[in-house]
Structure 1
Amino acid sequence: MSDDPNIPDPNADQTSSEPLSRAIGERYLTYALSTIMHRALPDARDGLKPVHRRILYAMRELRLSPTGAFRKSAKITGDVMGNYHPHGDAAIYDAMARLAQPFAMRYPLVDGQGNFGNIDGDNPAASRYTEARLTAAAEALMEGLTENAVDFRPNYDGTLEEPVVLPAAFPNLLCNGASGIAVGMATNIPPHNLHEVIDACLHLIKAPDARDDTLVSIIPGPDFPTGGVLVEDRETIAEAYRTGRGSLRLRAKWEREDLGRGNYQIVVTEIPYQVQKSKLIERLAELIQTKKIPILADVRDESTEDVRIVLEPRARTVDADQLMAALFRVSDLEIRFGLNMNVLIDGRVPKVCSLKEVLRAFLDHRREVLVRRSNHRLDKIAARLEVLEGYMIAFLNLDRVIEIIRYEDDPKSVMMAEFKLSEVQVEAILNMRLRALRKLEEMELRTEHENLTREREALAAMLADDGAQWSRIAEELRETRGKFGKSAPGGLRRTEIGEAGDLAEIDMDAMIEREPITVILSQMGWIRAMKGHQPLDAELKFKDGDGPFLAMHAETTDKLMVFGANGRFYTLPANTLPGGRGMGEPLRLMIDLPNDAAVIDLFPWREGGRYLVASRAGDGFIVGAGDIQAQTRAGKQVLNGDALLCRAVSGDHLVTVGENRKMLVFPLTELPEMGRGKGVRLQKFKDGGLSDAACITLAEGLRWQESGGRTRHEPDLSAWLGKRAGAGYMAPRGFPRDNRFN
């Protein structure tokens, strides 16, 4: 940089200063608007996002007609990326592949040859292996592009032009649906049946003020390419279409297949939209393995080109409706489709539209396309009539025209001056072939002139009459309905409109077959369930270094409560425990019990039960059964502190013993009943803490077992009777040295 002040600084005026918050805000707003308008939301007129529109237009430019040859997908992707869509080739190919998937698109816009993915969720083959061309539906979307039907704009580098929107001969937005996530907004529009949508359009043309309920009666609900059964009530569907937002329940279609002798199996023939079949079967297999649906025995995938998932019940007595109702609750055999009709109006303004507003946007676009195509045709007719009039003048003065062409140096200006012809007419005459100078050609010219004149008058009359325009639009819609409606292959409705039934009455626990089991918990925390009520002192095999910790009798319908040293209760369904043939499985894989928290107790949950919980510090309280049941793997915090014990409450008094071997007996009525907390002081200790506690009936005294197996009895406990939180007195002679009541 020069030090001379007279020499201007070349870097001056190239920097600016502004607050960071405003700079970030402006740039993020620009990004958000770009995402909303140019990526995520479809246009209400043709139902396409820019990437899909560019794919179809590029394929049209490659002349990939429905009846023509296929081209490599890599070539199509390259042309789209190089000419119109400067983004990643993988994203473009994925978008094109989806347009070719019959399980994703109700009316596919691309005809694919090769592996374009499947309903299992497998990805398409690489673009170099697959080929594609347009479908008849895509061709209908672009009908009229060469007739000034829509505006064009420069592509990203200004070398080519691309359409702003497609003419859209059929309502693609509703027929194929759309989904996308923008910044601060999203859209999710389900596919519909074209025949029904066009019927609704025709009704809206006849009655522009049609009620929403009338339109819903014509379009009863979405029509998904994978079929299924829509089980939402009519009022909910009508409200969703009226507001543009809602949630619709879609179920798999199934049937009961008899196998003879009272046996049967359930066959699922249609699964909900956008559900991957492979993941659905994995989920069903997981339900069998974890025994969450014990009345389901097996699942098999026998699908070929059609979906066929076989479900085997546990026994012939299992009710098929009850089994399916249970599966609907816990698997993707039933899903909720969140309807959100957020679209771009006129390609600029995002708006959540009702069904009527979406249809109106499409019809208004069709009218604009009709007017523009008609005006374009009128311009073509005017140009042709001008040429025809020049031809007819030339035929009437054929000898003179030939003479001028042969002998005049500037025949163009002479003919214009002598016959009052325009420059266009003279150019057409001079370019006329000699073979056209026949008498028959003159008659053909007059006939063509008359036909074009009549067509011009008809178009002018239509453009001057709104009713005639809507009649023409209705006629075009009927033609489209004839091509793709009910009479066309695949045009019939696929999704049934059904009724849901009441799933709330299904008791999942009632499905569990009630059987006696013996639950074994090892010292290292491995748990298993043996069939039947086995002797609790029976010898069992454990892993090396492991041994028995706890054994109890229960039933498969029980909910087992695990009490940890962290003061949390965990709920463990008994029917999910591993069988007793092996060593079991770690308990900590079934519940989120920390590694440093030991298991204090394990017992079956009982309605109305009351339990004493106490900490090592000597604090405790009584908790009801309703306050200890946990709904998640993380358990439920009940006792605050280092937990020591949990005892079922019975009798009328509580006896406690500390590490100092002092024992105290006090009434249970002095203990509060709480849902969660630290509790109250049970016994006062100068040194150490609580060792054990037990509920007793005072009149029966206290019993404990000696090491030799004999049972000792202390009938009179008056010497240890006192108030809660007292220090107590030394335990009676012969009390166990481990300070446990056993």
Structure 2
Amino acid sequence: MPDDLKTLPEGGRINETPLAGALSERYLAYAMSTIMARSLPDVRDGLKPVHRRLLWAMQQLRLDPAGGFKKCARVVGDVIGKYHPHGDASVYEALVRLAQDFAARYPLVEGQGNFGNIDGDNAAAMRYTEAKLTEVAKALLEGIDEDAVDFRPTYDGEEQEPVVLPAAFPNLLANGANGIAVGMATSIPPHNAGEVCSAALELIRNPHATTAELLAHMPGPDFPTGGVMVEPADSILNAYETGRGGFRLRARWEKEALKNGTWQVVVTEIPYQVQKSRLIEQIAELLEAKKLPLLADVRDESTDKVRLVLEPKSRTIEPAMLMESLFRATPLETRIPLNMNVLDAERTPRVMGLREVLRSWLDHRQVVLVRRSNHRLAAIERRLEILDGYLIVYLNLDEVIRIVREEDHPKEALMRTFELTDNQAEAVLNMRLRALRKLEEMEIRREHQRLTKELKGLQKLLSSEKAQWTRIGEEIEAARDKFGSGALGDRRTVQTEAAVVTFDESQFVEKEAITVILSEKGWLRAQKGHLEPTAELRFKEGDSLALMLHAETTDRIGLIASNGRAYTIKADAVPRGRGDGQPVRLMVELGNEENILTAFVWKEGLKFLVASSAGRGFVVKSEDLLAEKRTGKQVLVVDAPDTLAVCVPAEGDTVAVIGENRKLLVFPMEQVPEMTRGRGVALQGYRDGGLSDVKVFDARREGLTWRLGDRTRTETALAPWRGNRGGAGKMPPNGFPKSNRFDG
């Protein structure tokens, strides 16, 4: 017996497996289950398993568009009982989304009752709402009972469910999809079905059509809530070629004139998947925080149509400038991601471009056409066989009647006498007497002629790929005519180039001199005026001054932290007054073990030398230190326990570096590269310890200066310490501060 198998007293065995191997094997199984059976849509019908099972269950319940409604609880019960063993809440949520006209561009379910609204209110409980299929869903299911697709057993083996739907409607692109799996995700915005069909027809006419040629028919997404897309054309083309990208979507607005020359802006369409109530809350919060200097008030006057009223602070403000400020600060402008990560026909997850997505759908339609045609062909052949038997009966009616009346085994006798097949003989014996009338014979002959003609047509279709693509083109044209026009099919999202509006919020902030004060424990505040360095400042008990900075309220303050990240905050956003201020960690994303090393007034064209405690560094421009987000921007990459130790202005031609080993090295500034992000280069080599301080100076005019208490000392004879970057250096001149810092 192998060593890793142990026998238990009860007769069982223990298979000893390394924990890491067991965990990875089980996690991989979970990941594949999430990817294949939950989160990613199939490229052929654009559906995830839960949506496919919902539509299949509703068809089994005969909830056709022309029929009546049934309670959603009944639908959900069938889905979770027969096909989808998950929670009823998640299944009902999926059903609701398929019915929401503001969430789905082409709803697959028609709902009756409260199915939620654009404000973000939830749908009523499933026992109160009813549903049935729409014409779009009917197109997706068309031909499913004609052997168009494969079926598989359900989870308990008692039922059958389709692997994929026939999909006579381009659902993946038309309705889009969103999902987060394990290690991958998908995000496909909705499109106009008529335009998608036109692009597919172009691909049929020209199988080598480029993405640009396809985009001439399908210029971009078409969202159910409308809006204005302002993405550049080259960016759109690149997104659809690679299958990854994004689109900037803005609210649609118009200027509404009022009396006495006043005006207001009315927003009539908001971006896709933005909750209107939450949007108004966010605008109101920013208004209260005085972060929208051009806006006076916001009101919601919506009924069944969106109407948000925005009042400017002054009628002299340009409406475009007001909206530009709101687009920058609120979800009135959002970015819709594109990540066409789908399961292909072999159930393999991968990212596809637009051309490959359309090609996959068209290939699926060809497979469906061939399977439906073969199914129909077999049915016609079976029927013609029966009709041939009927015609033989009419030609020999008296003999057939005699055999049936007198023979002990009439079936075998009929087969022997008239050379009938088993199916023909069985059909003849099952005929009713009324079918023996002359009129019935004429009907059988007409049906035989009609089916024979259809049989030849199907045989011709199946033998010619060109004829198949002609038929597929006709089907797609019919879908375009049906779903590509009218209230449902007309394009809702407008595409335009973003207007260039020069906007600088600082021009609406009153310019005022302030002093920015940061304490050792990370409390940030500002006081009016430029305080003297000797000014008396109060701090919390145990706290003290870390740095003081003179600025204007219109400035931006750059912060450099020990984690190697740069942050930017607006000077007017720094808490004012004589209080303790606000922890800087609430204003930027900073860990408890990290701290702000230095701050500066941001200006274009400045350069800084940043260095880690390990003695590596580089020069970075102020433009590359600009980071408005709370998370900041990684500039110097450091690995624990190293930290960013120094950030000094890079103004001069020479660099002086001193290490914790009290070795001083002086080398030309030109040896330090300029970078935007990285680990940097070695400024000084250390056997033990790390970097203490760095200074950039002009050796020809100033010499190397350092502070000794209240006075300064300058050394101009620097030859003993000169070398190349990365050298070890030598002991500093007599009188150099014991703190190993140039500022004393």
Q: Distance in 2 between matches of 1:393 and 1:634?
A: 86
Q: Give me the whole-angstrom Cα distance separating, in 2, the residues matched to 1:286 and 1:413.
A: 89
Indicate whether 1:507 and 2:480 are aligned: no
**Cα displacement (A) at 1:591:** 8.0
Report what 1:40 is aligned to.
Answer: 39
**Which of residues 574, 580, 588 is equivalent to 2:582?**
588
**Equivalences, count:** 591
Alpha-carbon contact 1:570-1:591 (below 8 Å) kept: no
Equivalent in the alignment of 1:260? 259
Paired letter, 1:489: A
Match of 1:66 in 2: 65
2-side partners of 1:683 and 1:273: how far apart?
Answer: 63
Residue 330 (structure 2) aligns with? 331
Give runs of aligned pairs for residues 296-695 of structure 1, distance below 5 A.
296-486=295-485, 488-502=486-500, 505-512=502-509, 587-588=581-582, 592=586, 683=709
Alpha carbons of structure 1 residues 9 and 291: separation in structure 2 relative to 1, 3 Å = closer
TM alignment of 1:201-216, pairs within 5 A: 201-216=200-215
Whether contact under 8 Å (2:526, 2:575) holds in the other structure is yes
Question: Do the aligned partners of 1:143 and 1:169 also contact (CA within 8 Å) in 2?
Answer: yes
Deviation at 1:479, TM superposition (A): 1.1
Question: Secondary structure, in 3 states, of the residue corresponding to 2:336?
Answer: strand
Deviation at 1:21, TM superposition (A): 2.2
Deviations 1:589-636 (A, max 9, x none): 898599xxxxxxxxx98999xxxxxxxxxxxxxxxxx99999688999
Q: Residue 483 of structure 1: CA displacement?
A: 1.2
Q: For the structure 1 residues 207 and 24, does the alpha-carbon distance in structure 2 shift closer, same or farther, using more than 3 Å as the test?
A: same
Letter in 1 for 2:582: R
CA distance in 1, matches of 2:583, 2:507: 26
Rate the CA distance shift 1:10–1:455 in 2: closer, same or farther, 3 A: farther
Cross-structure match for 1:705: none
What runs of 5+ residues in structure 1 fail to find an aligned partner?
Answer: 1-7, 520-524, 531-553, 563-568, 595-603, 609-625, 637-671, 685-692, 694-722, 726-742
TM-score, normalised to structure 1, is 0.72
How much does 1:233 deviate? 0.8
Contact 2:111 2:129 in 1 (8 A): yes
Code of the aligned partner of 2:111 = G
Letter in 2 for 1:198: C
Q: Distance in 2 between matches of 1:404 and 1:168?
A: 51
Relative to structure 1, is the Cα distance of residues 85 and 294 closer, same or farther in structure 2, using a 3 angstrom cutoff? same
Alpha-carbon distance, 1:425 to partner: 1.2
Q: CA deviation at 1:22?
A: 2.1
Task: Tell me the distance in 2 between the aligned counterparts of 1:432 and 1:19.
Answer: 71
Mapped to 2, the partners of 1:468 and 1:560 lie a distance apart of: 69
**Counterpart secondary structure, 1:220:** coil
1:457 and 1:87, CA in 2 relative to 1: closer, same or farther beyond 3 A? same
Cα distance in 2 for residues equivalent to 1:590 and 1:301? 35
> Is the contact made by 1:43 and 1:343 (CA closer than 8 Å) also made in structure 2?
yes
| CA distance in 1 between partners of 2:354 and 2:557 (Å) | 52
Deviates more, 1:403-412 or 1:192-201: 403-412
Partners of 2:34 and 2:570 in 1: CA distance = 48
- In the TM superposition, what is the alpha-carbon distance from 1:517 to its structure 2 partner? 12
1:510 aligned partner, one-letter code: Q
Greater Rg, structure 1 or structure 2? Answer: 1
CA distance in 1, matches of 2:283, 2:507: 19
Alpha-carbon separation, structure 2, partners of 1:269 and 1:248: 20
Question: What's the offset of the Cα at 1:190?
Answer: 0.8
Deviation for aligned residue 1:558? 7.6
* Distance change (3 Å), C-alpha of 1:323 and 1:30: same
1:67-146 alignment runs, 5 A limit: 67-146=66-145
CA–CA separation in structure 2 for the residues paired with 1:341 and 1:561: 38
The answer to whether the 8 Å contact 2:569/2:628 transfers is no
* Preserved contact between residue 390 and residue 428 of structure 2 (Cα < 8 Å): yes
Which residue does the alignment assign to 2:702? none
Offset at residue 139 of structure 1 (A):
0.7
| Counterpart amino acid of residue 327 in structure 2 | F
The answer on whether the counterparts of 1:150 and 1:163 sit within 8 Å (CA) in structure 2 is yes
CA distance in 2: counterparts of 1:137 and 1:427, whole angstroms: 42
Preserved contact between residue 44 and residue 343 of structure 1 (Cα < 8 Å): yes
Question: Residues 60-108 of structure 1: CA distance to partner in whole angstroms, max 9, x if unpaired?
Answer: 0000011111111111111000100011111111111111111111101
Cα distance change on mapping 1:14 and 1:578 into 2, 3 Å: closer
Q: Is the Cα contact below 8 Å between 1:70 and 1:131 reproduced in 2?
A: yes
The answer to whether the 8 A contact 2:558-2:602 is kept is no
Cα contact 2:149–2:165 (8 A) shared by 1: yes
Q: Secondary structure at the match of 1:15?
A: strand
TM-score (norm 2): 0.72
* Residue in 2 that maps onto 1:200: 199
Give the direction of change, closer, same or farther, for the CA distance of 1:559–1:161 in structure 2 (3 Å limit).
Answer: closer
| Structure 1 residues 375 and 556, CA gap change in structure 2 (3 angstroms) | same
For residues 294-338 of structure 1, the C-alpha deviation after alignment (integer angstroms, 9 at most, x for no partner) is 110001111111111111000100111011111111111111111
Q: 1:585 to 1:321 in 2, by over 3 A?
A: farther
Q: Deviations over 1:242-300 (max 9, x none)?
A: 11111211111111111122111001111111111111111111121111111100011
Listed one character per residue, the Cα deviations across residues 462-493 of structure 1 (whole Å, up to 9, x for unaligned) are 1101100000000111111111112x332111
Gaps spanning 5+ residues in structure 2: where?
1-6, 517-522, 529-550, 560-565, 591-599, 605-621, 634-693, 698-704, 712-734, 738-744
Task: Name the residue aligned to 1:218.
Answer: 217
Q: What's the offset of the Cα at 1:409?
A: 2.7
**Per-residue deviation, residues 178-231 of structure 1 (Å, max 9, x unmatched):** 111111111111111011100011111111111111011111111111111110
SS of 2:372's partner is helix
1:18 CA drift (Å):
2.5
Corresponding residue SS for 1:256: strand
Cα 1:457–1:509 shift into 2, 3 Å: same
CA distance change for structure 1 residues 79 and 414 in 2, over 3 Å: closer, same or farther?
same
Distance (Å, rounded) in 2 between the aligned partners of 1:66 and 1:585: 67
Matched to 2:152, the amino acid is R
In structure 2, what is the equivalent of residue 614 of structure 1?
Answer: none
Q: Secondary structure at the match of 2:123?
A: coil
Q: Deviations over 1:341-374 (max 9, x none)?
A: 1111115111110100000000000000000000
Deviation at 1:555, TM superposition (A): 9.2
How far apart in 1 are the matches of 2:204 and 2:632? 61
Q: Residue 119 of structure 1 contacts residue 276 of structure 1 at CA under 8 Å; is this kept in 2?
A: yes
Measured in 2, the distance between the counterparts of 1:222 and 1:335 equals 14
Relative to 1, partners in 2 of residues 1:416 and 1:673: Cα closer, same or farther, differing over 3 Å? Answer: closer
What is the distance in 1 between the residues matched to 2:209 and 2:87? 45
- Partner Cα separation in structure 2 for residue 494 and residue 570 of structure 1: 40
Q: Deviations over 1:357-404 (max 9, x none)?
A: 000000000000000000000000000001111111111122222232
| Per-residue deviation, 1:586 | 7.8
Deviation at 1:234, TM superposition (A): 0.7
Instruction: Provide closer, same or farther for how the CA distance between residues 577 and 188 of structure 1 changes in structure 2, counting only shifts above 3 A.
Output: closer
Once residues 106 and 491 of structure 1 are traced to their aligned partners in structure 2, the CA distance between those partners, rounded to angstroms, is 9
Partner of 2:14: 15
The secondary structure found in structure 1 opposite 2:488 is coil
Q: Secondary structure of 2:164's partner?
A: coil
- Over residues 4-28 of structure 1, what are the superposed CA-to-partner deviations in whole Å (9 max), with x where a residue is unaligned? xxxx977556332232222222222
Match for residue 56 of structure 1?
A: 55
Alignment of 1:137-286 (within 5 A): 137-286=136-285
Identity in percent = 57
Specify whether residues 561 and 103 from structure 1 end up closer, same or farther in structure 2 by C-alpha distance, changes over 3 A only: closer
Task: Report the AA paired with residue 413 of structure 1.
Answer: E
Q: Does structure 1 conserve the Cα–Cα contact (< 8 Å) formed by 2:557 and 2:602?
A: no
